[in-house]
DNA sequence: CTCGGTAGTGTAA
DNA sequence: TTACACTACCGAG
């Protein structure tokens, strides 16, 4: 697996990928923090920095981040439980500029009472942006949490809202 | 009506 | 077993 770290409009961003697709997209305030996260999550696997290999991925992710394109179709290579995959799939169907509540997602995957578990699955999302877990909010409209900082969640939603309006 | 407590759910540690 | 990025529901004011 290869990775790279680049600057983005939301701070330092790490992207990791295999031959099959993207394995991780994470945000952080500095390089060390991002690398520590990565090694922690994928302990045991061989990980090497390779900016060249990751070049196209950087382009794709940055344009998803700043220009609303391709986020839903980026090739992913991620692991999760059956339940998590179900949730993540539902998250990818939330259109750009829209939000859904945890309860709505629970309904869509056919597990209407597993609301809290849905939140847990969102929190376990390994690929920011590509799986738009930031579009999930509380039933009362407030933001709830974000693994990479509420601040970033708010910024993303604000940005996407503007895209819809203009 | 508002307000607080609680059950239900999947996971990782 | 516990602690969660939750929320519909129920009883007490």
Q: Quickly give A141 CA vs C9 C1' distance in Å.
A: 19
Q: Quickly give A140 CA vs B3 C1' distance in Å.
A: 16
pLDDT tens, residue by residue, A25-54: 999 999 999 999 999 999 889 999 999 999
Q: Indicate the average pLDDT of chain A.
A: 95
- d(Cα A27, Cα A72) in Å, to the nearest integer? 19
| Site of tokens 């939603």 | A157
Predicted TM-score (pTM) of the model is 0.95
pLDDT of residue A7: 97
Chain B bases near protein Cβ (<7 Å) = 8-12
Say if residue A108's pLDDT is above 90: yes
Say if residue A141's pLDDT is above 90: yes
- Split at pLDDT 50, 70, 90, the class of A80 is very high
pLDDT of residue A15: 98
Q: What is the mean pLDDT of residues A54-81?
A: 93
Whether any strand B atom is under 7 angstroms from the Cβ of A127: the reply reads no
Q: Quickly give A166 CA vs B11 C1' distance in Å.
A: 40
pLDDT of residue A44: 87
Instruction: Please give the nucleotide, over all strands, whose C1' is closest to the CA of residue A119.
Output: C5
- Split at pLDDT 50, 70, 90, the class of A162 is confident
The per-residue b/e assignment along A58-86, b for 16 or more CB within 10 angstroms, e otherwise, is bebbbebbeeeeebeebebbbeeeebbeb
Chain A 31-90, CB < 7 Å to strand C:
none
- d(Cα A8, Cα A111) in Å, to the nearest integer? 36
């Amino acid at each position: 697996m290869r990775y790279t770290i680049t600057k983005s409009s939301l701070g330092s961003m790490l992207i990791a990928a295999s031959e099959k697709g993207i394995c991780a997209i994470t945000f952080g305030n500095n390089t060390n923090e991002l690398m520590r996260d990565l090694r922690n999550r994928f302990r045991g696997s061989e990980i090497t920095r390779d900016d060249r290999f990751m070049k196209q991925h950087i382009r794709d992710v940055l344009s998803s981040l700043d220009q609303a394109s391709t986020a839903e179709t980026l090739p992913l290579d991620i692991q999760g439980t059956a339940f998590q995959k179900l949730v993540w799939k539902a998250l990818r169907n939330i259109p750009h500029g829209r939000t859904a509540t945890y309860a709505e997602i629970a309904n869509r995957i056919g597990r209407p009472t597993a609301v809290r578990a849905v939140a847990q699955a969102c929190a376990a999302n390994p690929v920011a942006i590509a799986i738009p877990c930031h579009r999930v909010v509380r039933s009362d409209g407030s933001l709830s949490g974000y693994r990479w900082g509420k601040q970033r969640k708010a910024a993303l939603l604000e940005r996407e809202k503007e895209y819809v309006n203009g």
